[in-house]
């Protein structure tokens, strides 16, 4: 098997062609009804190949009403990945994650915590905007994705983590926490602590994209990331700050949690592990 190089990962050129196997392929009972993004993943390639393929994903019904897929953004060499819930109204319009009010809040908190947003990879657990329309102007109001939709979209997040190979993955809010740590995870209980993520492989971090021993190329051509243990850390979603009565206190909590990730990157996640 030909290894995928860091350059491939940065440029998304990969070592082979995107076969587009999901386009009209074995998707089940019809577009969106199979609740599985896996058939839409390219056979191999970097972030560019993934982003291109995700633009055509019909892995669940959420593609029907949203404007576009909002894929992750940031360098393939990022040491930290931040995972939100789903794109919001502004993200859906602009096609980039974390460009709305919550995104501005996150960027401010990252800076205050000592994390350079330009060196982070930002993405969401679910790549399409889920909303209801209400009011005379038909304002689009965020609606939380279901566990089924989140599970359907997980192969994209798994593939992003394979390609980027971060040292620390920060889950922003309950949906991202469940996507990374499992459906029983509670952000309110376990926030701010570095937790080793399951290794790639069946049932683990790499289960949605093939999986392999950490550090080597996977069976599907995606690199499996760094050999070291990858740590996860959960905190609130930045939109919780915007909704809070005591914004200053909730914002301070967000910054405090993000500082744990920043310190871990400075000193090594293993030395900062909380449990
Ligand atoms: S939400 Fe995810 S699985 Fe569903 S259509 Fe969009 S990209 Fe595909």
What are the pLDDT digits (tens) for 85-143? Answer: 999 999 999 999 999 999 999 999 999 999 999 999 999 999 999 999 887 778 899 99
- Domains of the chain: which residue ranges? 71-272
Pocket (CB within 6 angstroms of ligand 1):
37, 54, 57-60, 62-63, 69, 126-128, 149, 152-153, 156
Distance, CA 246 to ligand 1 centroid (Å)?
34
Distance, CA 56 to ligand 1 centroid (Å)?
9
Question: Cα separation of 110 and 54, whole Å?
Answer: 27
> What local confidence, expressed as pLDDT, does residue 32 receive?
86
Q: Record the pTM.
A: 0.82
Better-scored residue on pLDDT, 249 or 24: 249
Distance, CA 32 to ligand 1 centroid (Å)?
8
Instruction: State mean pLDDT over 72-78.
Output: 97
Mutate to test the pocket of ligand 1, among 59, 68, 95, 149 (most ligand atoms within 8 A of CB): 59
The distance in angstroms from the start CA to the end CA of the chain is 37
Instruction: State mean pLDDT over 251-270.
Output: 92
Helices 101-113 and 247-267 pack at an angle, to 10 degrees, of: 50
User: Ligand 1, atom 4: nearest CA belongs to which residue?
Assistant: 60
Instruction: State mean pLDDT over 37-61.
Output: 97
Q: Is the pLDDT of residue 208 over 60?
A: no
Alpha-carbon separation of residue 4 from 22, 44, 244 (angstroms): 22, 9, 45
Instruction: State mean pLDDT over 156-166.
Output: 96
Q: Is 139 helix (H, G, I), strand (E, B) or coil?
A: strand
Instruction: State mean pLDDT over 198-205.
Output: 49
Question: Cα separation of 166 and 197, whole Å?
Answer: 11
Confidence band of 205 (pLDDT split at 50, 70, 90): very low
Atom of ligand 1 nearest to the CA of 86: 1
Q: Is the pLDDT of residue 153 over 80?
A: yes
Contact status, residue 142 vs residue 89, Cβ threshold 8 Å: yes
> What local confidence, expressed as pLDDT, does residue 269 receive?
65
222-254, pLDDT tens digit by residue?
A: 445 455 789 999 999 999 999 999 999 999 999
Better-scored residue on pLDDT, 57 or 7: 57
Q: Is the pLDDT of residue 209 over 60?
A: no
> What local confidence, expressed as pLDDT, does residue 200 receive?
53
> What local confidence, expressed as pLDDT, does residue 138 receive?
81
Distance, CA 270 to ligand 1 centroid (Å)?
34
Better-scored residue on pLDDT, 211 or 30: 30
Contact status, residue 173 vs residue 187, Cβ threshold 8 Å: yes
> What local confidence, expressed as pLDDT, does residue 31 receive?
76
The least confident of 196-205, 212-221, 250-259 is 212-221
Distance, CA 93 to ligand 1 centroid (Å)?
16
In the chain, what percentage of residues exceed pLDDT 70? 76
Encoded tokens for 105 = 């809040």
Question: Cα separation of 183 and 177, whole Å?
Answer: 8
Distance, CA 105 to ligand 1 centroid (Å)?
25
Better-scored residue on pLDDT, 50 or 198: 50
> What local confidence, expressed as pLDDT, does residue 192 receive?
97
If one looks up domain 71-272 in CATH, what number appears? 3.40.470.10
Instruction: State mean pLDDT over 19-24.
Output: 39
Better-scored residue on pLDDT, 214 or 234: 234
């Amino acid at each position: 098997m030909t290894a995928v190089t860091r350059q491939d990962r940065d440029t998304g050129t990969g070592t082979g062609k995107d076969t587009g196997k999901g386009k009209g392929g074995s998707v089940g009972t019809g577009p969106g009804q199979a609740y599985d993004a896996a058939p839409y993943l390219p056979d191999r390639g970097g972030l560019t190949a993934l982003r291109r393929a995700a633009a055509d994903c019909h892995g669940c019904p959420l593609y029907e009403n949203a404007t576009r897929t909002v894929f992750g953004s940031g360098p393939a060499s990022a040491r930290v990945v931040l995972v939100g819930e789903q794109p919001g109204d502004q993200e859906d319009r602009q096609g980039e994650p974390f460009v709305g009010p919550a995104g501005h809040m996150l960027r401010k908190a990252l800076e205050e915590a000592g994390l350079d947003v330009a060196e982070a990879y930002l993405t969401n657990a679910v790549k399409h905007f889920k909303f209801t329309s209400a009011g005379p102007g038909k304002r689009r109001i965020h609606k939380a994705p279901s566990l089924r939709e989140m599970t359907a979209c997980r192969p994209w997040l798994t593939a992003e983590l394979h390609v980027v190979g971060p040292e620390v993955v920060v889950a922003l809010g309950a949906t991202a926490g469940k996507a990374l740590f499992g459906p029983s995870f509670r952000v309110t209980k376990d926030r701010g602590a570095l937790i080793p993520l399951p290794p790639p492989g069946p049932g683990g971090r790499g289960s949605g994209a093939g999986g392999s021993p950490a550090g080597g190329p996977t069976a599907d051509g995606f690199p499996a990331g760094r050999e070291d243990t990858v740590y996860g850390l959960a905190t609130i979603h930045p939109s919780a700050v915007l909704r809070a009565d005591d914004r200053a206190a909730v914002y301070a909590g967000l910054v405090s949690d993000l500082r744990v990730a920043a310190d871990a990157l400075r000193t090594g996640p293993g030395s900062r592990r909380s449990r």
